[in-house]
Structure 1
Amino acid sequence: MNTRTRDLRREDLHASVSLPVMDTMNFLNEITHRYPEAISFAPGRPYDGFFDVEQIFTYIRRYLDHLAAGGDSPARIRDVLFQYGPTAGLIRELIAASLREDEGIDVPVESVVVTAGCQEAMFLVLRALMADRDDVLLLTSPCYVGITGAARVLGVEVAAVPEREDGLAREDIETVVKEQVAAGRRPRAIYVTPDHSNPSGVTMSLQARRELLDLAERHDLLIVEDSPYRLVSAGTRLPTLKSLDRNRRVVHLGSFSKTVFPGARVGFAVADQVVGAAEGRDGLLADELVKIKSMVTVNTSSLGQAAIAGALLQHSGRITDLNAGPAAYYADTMRTTLDRLARELPADRRARLGVRWNEPRGGFFLTLRVPFRADNEALGRSARDFGVIWTPMSYFYPEGGGDHAIRLSTSYLTRADIETGVSRLAEFIEAEATTGGDGLSGSRRSV
């Protein structure tokens, strides 16, 4: 690369491409490719064992039969699959019905916008809401890198609110809001993942949810709620913020990547907020998102939507029924991981090493505190010398932090891989604690 003539300078490109957050996933992919035999706790992906290629055709056929039963002609059905579709989405009615059935979220069909995955929904919402250079987005810290990256690409200012063991605390949010106002900025919205958050695995308590809604009302904040792990988690679920929302304070984001399959790339935004217009023609925030989407992706893949629609129809809109098996599997992998950690790092050993972890009740992730700097260099040693890969938690802190913590994803592995992987991880932690992170001694394995 260095021998080629340079056509562009990095400093002449948008500043976001040079931010560390933009390279995090690339580095993980590089490590995984370099050490293919290592056991990886890095990817937050659904377990492959639940996918069946033939199921895609079954789902699409189920949707086409649904259209035919509704009176659509063969020509119309052909156009649905092959032509550009409506920007707002083909399957809004089915998604709205599923939200009522599964989540107790009752909103007009017109408030649903079908997007190319949840990531596009984040971009649309941020672009619509952040109108002024002084508008600021509040984020949890740690936080999903997708929303942080989207904000950076769009030039949106962010302010971090520290996450506690039961989510966000009212007093912490109040403090950040007051700081931003004092600095001449307008806190516009707050992004949260209330259920089994990525990366920490923390779930917001019911009291904290009610307090957040009250605080949003008092400070004229919108809440951007993202909960991709709810319906793949076993046990009783707390209500979504949107189902508790009585004053249209919550923009609810959703995705079928975890609940059906990621390859469909279908997500959605529920934006039922009423937008007043100077000419007196009020509309919904969803209408404004559709305008932006028409200039970004034009429309979401019709084939992807057809597959998701078929899955919804086949299970009468109840994604919880579709995910009964996966939810039980993920509960087992989480429990297996926690049990194996306790076995490999019993109380006396972890006290000596200074190790501790949380115990999420669902989702894909848990957080492990370690006595050394858990950075890319440590990750490289872990993959190379011990055959185990994880994610540095520092990736997820918008304003710095998390240097002595790692994220473990429990969703993508089998029990056997988890047990072997946690054993290797314990060896790695012992070696790092012993050598001070210089990688000069300790157990080594060939992978």
Structure 2
Amino acid sequence: MRDAMLYKSSLHASLADPVLDTMNFLNEVTMRYPDAISFAPGRPYDGFFDTGHIFAHLHRYLDHLAEQGQSPQQIRTAMYQYGPTAGQIRDLIADSVRVDERIDVTPESIVVTVGAQESMLLTLRALMSGPDDVLMVSTPCYVGITGAARLLDIPVVDVEEPPDGFSCADFEAAILRERARGRNPRAFYVVPDHSNPSGTTLSQRARTELLELAGRHGVLILEDSPYRLVSPETPLPTLKSQDTDGVVVHLGSYSKTLFPGARIGYVIADQQIVDANGQITLLADELAKIKSMITVNTSSLSQAVVAGALLATGGRMSELNARPASYYGDAMRATLRRLDRRLPPGLRAELGVRWNSPTGGFFLNVQVSFDSDEDALTRSARNHGVIWTPMRYFYPSGGGHRTMRLSISYLTPIEIDEGIDRLATFIESETRRRPD
């Protein structure tokens, strides 16, 4: 009996896309060089986690259900059985985004998902219906959305972000260019606040112009903002809170504001859908139909833990995250100070190095004068004990070949200082390195 064999060419083409291998490569490098300091993972800082909090949140939610008049049997069913496909804590999420983000929507317009990643998959599957529909993305772009589009065979169009921030003029030009090609720009994905991977934030003027353009051209905006409430300054209003034309689908997540292991996200999709008979539903209802065929429902236990956290602060995740936000702000400033100290202006000019200075979030970018590819990363980890992420991973159509992403969220102050020292030594060595 011989082993069954399949040819890679017989599998879905997305499996040959290098983007799907990026996390595996970074994990492999990290495992091979365990003593290296890693600026790669965009994870929350472990020091804020306490296992006792999980039980406290869970008990708080169970008490809440009892206070709402549910019987012990109903509570057992809520925890042990399959729950509503759209989620069982939608009312608490609706209350939370109302007090924290000034987003006023009904619980029925929310679908609770397995992380924001499922929200992306559901939304793309629902919206992209024809062969000419395309997804536009602000580039550099989070690989999760481009990976989801690739899995669904959805064409992706870059709207490249200039060095000084997002350009609405470039966005409109891209819309017109795609329509001239006979394609339909259906949706535009953007992270308005401290984006992954660039760390940039849209100004209020850019937000206003973006909403106006989307409404005028009939393009939906997929707003993803996981870093707003873990950043030290008062954030600008979300796009959704300013959405008067119903053009924004808001993707939310508790991975950064609570903990990633909960795997709880949500999508706010209050757009009205009219069928051939004139019946009206919400886009959220359609997303729930798709979810029922993918994950059936989101873990009741995970929802209960998130609900307990929301109840603890009256829905104000910003209050729960005041200390982490301060920590991440300090970490970003410490990283920028150390870069400036270790690579002062004269040396920066000599080496051809520069970086941006985000005011929050987890990420910043460092531009160098050499190719920041996998080979360079391997040399960095092996010879200098420091790991970073190649920015080329975040350019769907190519780019970012001489830029690296640094994540500051997972490290202690001591690790940041040592890691930047190692990074600077690597940059000096690599810049002056003779070709093999």
After TM superposition, the score normalised by the length of structure 2 is 0.99
Q: Matches of residues 38-49 of structure 1 in structure 2 within 5 Å?
A: 38-49=36-47
Aligned partner letter, 1:139: V
SS in structure 2 at match of 1:87: coil
1:316 aligned to which of 307, 314, 317: 314
Query: Shift of the alpha carbon at 1:184?
Result: 0.9
Secondary structure (helix, strand or coil) at the match of 1:373 reads: coil
Q: CA deviation at 1:93?
A: 0.3
Contact 1:47 1:411 in 2 (8 A): yes
CA displacement at 1:6 relative to structure 2? 5.5
Deviation per CA, 1:304-357: give whole Å up to 9, x if none: 000000000001100001000000000011011000000000000001000000
- Which residue of structure 2 lines up, in the alignment, with residue 441 of structure 1? none
How many angstroms does 1:167 deviate by? 3.6
Q: Distance in 1 between matches of 2:169 and 2:330?
A: 36
Q: Take 2:185 and 2:244, find their aligned partners in 1: how far apart are those partners?
A: 21
Letter paired with 1:257: S
Matched, 1:17 2:15: yes
| Alignment-mate amino acid for residue 188 of structure 1 | R
Partners of 1:163 and 1:114 in 2: CA distance: 31
Give me the whole-angstrom Cα distance separating, in 2, the residues matched to 1:166 and 1:241: 20
Segment of structure 1 superposing worse, 110-119 or 274-283? 274-283
Q: What do the CA deviations read for 1:351-409 (whole angstroms, capped 9, x no partner)?
A: 10000000001000000000100000000000000000000000000100000000000
| 2:330 counterpart (329, 332, 347) | 332
Aligned-pair CA distance for 1:133: 1.1
1:140 corresponding residue in structure 2:
138
The answer as to whether partners of 1:378 and 1:437 remain within 8 angstroms in 2 is no
The within-5 A match list for 1:165-176 is 165=163, 167-176=165-174
Q: Does the CA-based 8 Å contact 1:87-1:299 persist in structure 2?
A: yes
Question: 1:165 Cα shift?
Answer: 4.1
Partner residue in 2 for 1:387: 385
Structure 1, unmatched stretches of 5+, are 439-447
Contact map agreement 1:91 1:309 (CA 8 A) in 2: yes
The answer on 1:400 being equivalent to 2:408 is no
Q: Equivalent of 2:281, from 276, 283, 291?
A: 283
Kindly report which structure 2 residues correspond to 1:155-166, keeping only aligned pairs within 5 A, or say none: 155-165=153-163
Q: 2:364 aligns with which of 359, 363, 366?
A: 366
Contact preservation (8 Å) 1:166, 1:205: no
Task: Specify the alignment match of 1:122 in structure 2.
Answer: 120
Distance 2:95 2:194 in 1: 24
Q: Which residue does 1:420 correspond to in 2?
A: 418
In the alignment, which residue of structure 1 is the partner of 2:432? 434
CA distance, structure 2, for counterparts of residue 380 and residue 266 of structure 1: 34
Count of residues in Structure 1 that have an aligned counterpart in Structure 2? 435
8 Å CA contact 1:365, 1:408 repeated in 2: yes
Please give the residue correspondences for 1:40-439 in structure 2 after superposition, counting only pairs within 5 Å.
40-165=38-163, 167-436=165-434, 438=436
What SS is found at the alignment partner of 1:136?
A: strand
Report what 1:445 is aligned to. none
Q: Partners of 1:329 and 1:173 in 2: how far apart?
A: 34
Give the ranges of 4+ consecutive aligned residues of structure 1 lying more than 6 Å apart after TM superposition. Answer: none
Amino acid at match of 1:72: Q
C-alpha distance 277-45 of structure 1, shift in aligned 2 (>3 A):
same
Residues of 2 paired with 1:148 and 1:350: CA distance?
Answer: 33
Distance 1:294 1:150, change over 3 A: same
Q: 2: distance between equivalents of 1:384 and 1:316?
A: 48
Residue 442 of structure 1 is matched in structure 2 by: none
* Structure 2 portions without partners, runs of 5+: none
CA distance in 2, matches of 1:273, 1:135: 19
Structure 1 residue 253: deviation in Å? 0.3
Deviation at 1:168, TM superposition (A): 2.1
Structure 2 Cα separation of the partners of residues 437 and 226 of structure 1: 41
The normalised TM-score by structure 1 is: 0.96
Kept in 2, the 8 Å contact 1:372–1:436? The answer is no
Indicate conservation of the 8 Å contact 1:111/1:271, yes or no.
yes
1:301 and 1:31 map into 2 onto residues whose CA distance is 32
CA distance in 2, matches of 1:70, 1:21: 47
Distance 2:229 2:435 in 1: 39
Q: 1:272 offset after TM fit, Å? A: 0.4
